[in-house]
């Protein structure tokens, strides 16, 4: 069974200080995951993890990861700004984007981030808007389907990302003519895999491609970025990846392909978001309504605006009713939020212990692509984020949004200057912090 990283007593103390809903992160777990990853790839002297900022864009989380030796993988202007503000410098940042605005490339170039080109047409675009750096990376898409153990893991040919194999050779040659001296190669062929063989299989494809490119173009390939795709077991009965088995599998491919080709100095990079953070975060919500109609419903003070994966993908997130961890799961519920959409359900026909109003629900594995995918539909406000520190104390690392935040982008209109008496207190010239 999945176990929360916080007990009921601890959680009651935290919710007394910070009202639900909020996303809770486990500092101890984050640090241990990073250390295990680095240990698993310690055979590669230049290994570096570039954490996918899009998974959990919070400066407190990024600071923890920076202390553990990680860089950041950014995909937008604001993610670059956030990384810069936290203290990441130059090639500690990887900029992997697509359909990229000029301002994003300009900032990436200014900050000295490693730019990962998504398309051969971006070469001229980058040159025009920012100039070509001496170090650059190119994203590869081999097309077709990616299979592992005779099973289709994903279909890269349907993805919008990356160069074709022919375009890689053309692109490397063109970039060398424009002054590039150092290259990287990158690919992302499957998402949320729970097979230890994914990274080694991807690595072998990229290693063989790197050898071919070096022979065809004479380019100096200094690093290979395996990107993300290593997943976590969202369901209790799913297999769990073993990062040490994965690291050893990549090492074997490295020794088999790159070393004989005289390319044994290549650095290995990863861009793991889900693997690093998902299990180290949870959405904490309170049962505030129950409904007995054609089905049994439990309504929470959280909704899909706080965690959209179940509504968007039909994704499974395990739920623990805190304080009832050992009670029989003999009640069937739809666990819902309050949006005006029928897909606003965290669970459908889920067997759980009897839930009473006021019970705290721990929704597992929301540390990546949880808060970050939030939105304001129905005027719902984004929740707070709280860090469970290694010493057991809790720290607010993002306050909850207020109505003032929601209306802040109308500040140029003057619409809220003459509110009826008694309403004006809800609107401020500047967003005000919530007083817990």
- Alpha-carbon distance of 378 to 341, in angstroms, equals 10
Q: Which two tokens stand for residue 357?
A: 């109003």
Instruction: Decide: residue 158, CB within 10 A, 0-12 exposed, 13-18 middle, 19+ buried.
Output: exposed
3-class DSSP assignment, residue 69: coil
Q: Exactly one of 12, 138, 303, 340 is catalytic; name it.
A: 340
User: Which residues partner with 138 through β-bridges?
Assistant: 117, 185
- Alpha-carbon distance of 1 to 325, in angstroms, equals 10
User: Smallest Cα–Cα separation from 153: which of 205, 109, 78, 101?
Assistant: 205
Q: Which two tokens stand for residue 416?
A: 């809220």
User: Smallest Cα–Cα separation from 57: which of 28, 76, 79, 77?
Assistant: 79
User: Smallest Cα–Cα separation from 360: which of 29, 7, 105, 5?
Assistant: 7
Cβ neighbours of residue 409 under 8 Å, at least 6 residues apart? Answer: none
3-class DSSP assignment, residue 53: helix
- Alpha-carbon distance of 310 to 287, in angstroms, equals 18
Residue 79 is classified by DSSP as H
Residue 291 sits at the vertex; the CA angle it makes with 287 and 296, to the nearest 5 degrees, is: 95
Contact between 337 and 306 under an 8 Å Cβ cutoff? The reply is yes
340 belongs to the catalytic site: yes
User: Which residues partner with 163 through β-bridges?
Assistant: 140
Q: For residue 301, which phi and psi values (nearest 5 degrees)? A: -80, 0
- Alpha-carbon distance of 425 to 268, in angstroms, equals 54
3-class DSSP assignment, residue 246: helix
Q: Which two tokens stand for residue 336?
A: 């819902």
Q: What is the largest CA-CA distance in the chain?
A: 78
Q: For residue 44, which phi and psi values (nearest 5 degrees)? A: -100, 110
Q: Which residues are catalytic?
A: 340
């Amino acid at each position: 069974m999945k176990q929360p990283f916080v007990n009921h007593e601890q959680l009651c103390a935290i919710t007394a200080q910070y009202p639900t809903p909020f996303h809770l992160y486990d500092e101890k777990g984050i640090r241990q995951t990073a250390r295990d990853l680095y240990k698993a790839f310690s055979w590669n002297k230049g290994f570096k993890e570039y954490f996918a900022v899009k998974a959990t864009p919070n400066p407190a989380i990024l600071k923890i990861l920076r202390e553990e030796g990680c860089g950041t993988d950014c995909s937008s202007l604001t993610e670059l700004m956030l990384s810069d503000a936290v203290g990441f410098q130059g090639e500690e940042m990887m900029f992997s984007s697509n359909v990229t605005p000029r301002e994003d490339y300009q900032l990436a170039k200014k900050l000295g981030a490693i730019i990962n080109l998504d398309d051969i047409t971006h070469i001229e675009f980058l040159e025009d808007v920012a100039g070509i750096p001496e170090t650059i990376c190119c994203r590869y898409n081999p097309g077709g389907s990616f299979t592992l153990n005779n099973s289709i893991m994903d279909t890269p040919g349907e993805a919008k990302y990356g160069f074709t194999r022919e375009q890689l050779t053309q692109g490397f040659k063109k970039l060398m003519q424009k002054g590039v001296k150092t290259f990287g190669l990158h690919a992302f062929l499957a998402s949320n895999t729970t097979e230890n063989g994914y990274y080694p299989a991807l690595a072998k494809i990229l290693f063989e491609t790197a050898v071919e490119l070096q022979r065809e173009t004479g380019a100096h390939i200094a690093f290979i970025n395996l990107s993300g795709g290593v997943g976590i077991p969202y369901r209790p009965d799913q297999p769990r990846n073993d990062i040490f088995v994965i690291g050893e599998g990549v090492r074997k491919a490295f020794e088999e392909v790159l070393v004989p080709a005289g390319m044994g100095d290549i650095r290995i990079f990863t861009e793991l978001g889900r693997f690093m953070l998902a299990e180290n975060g949870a959405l904490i919500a309170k049962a505030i309504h129950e409904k007995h109609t054609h089905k049994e419903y439990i309504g929470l003070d959280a909704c899909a605006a706080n965690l959209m994966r179940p509504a968007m993908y039909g994704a499974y997130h395990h739920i623990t009713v805190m304080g009832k961890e050992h009670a029989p799961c003999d009640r069937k519920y739809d666990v819902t939020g309050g949006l005006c959409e029928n897909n606003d359900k965290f669970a459908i026909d889920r067997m759980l212990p009897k839930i009473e109003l006021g019970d705290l629900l721990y929704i597992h594995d929301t540390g990546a692509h949880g808060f970050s995918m939030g939105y304001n539909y129905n005027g719902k406000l984004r929740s707070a984020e709280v860090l469970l520190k290694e010493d057991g104390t809790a720290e607010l690392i993002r306050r909850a949004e207020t109505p003032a935040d929601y209306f802040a982008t109308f500040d140029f209109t003057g619409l809220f200057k003459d509110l009826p008496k008694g309403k004006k207190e809800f609107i401020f010239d500047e967003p005000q912090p919530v007083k817990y």
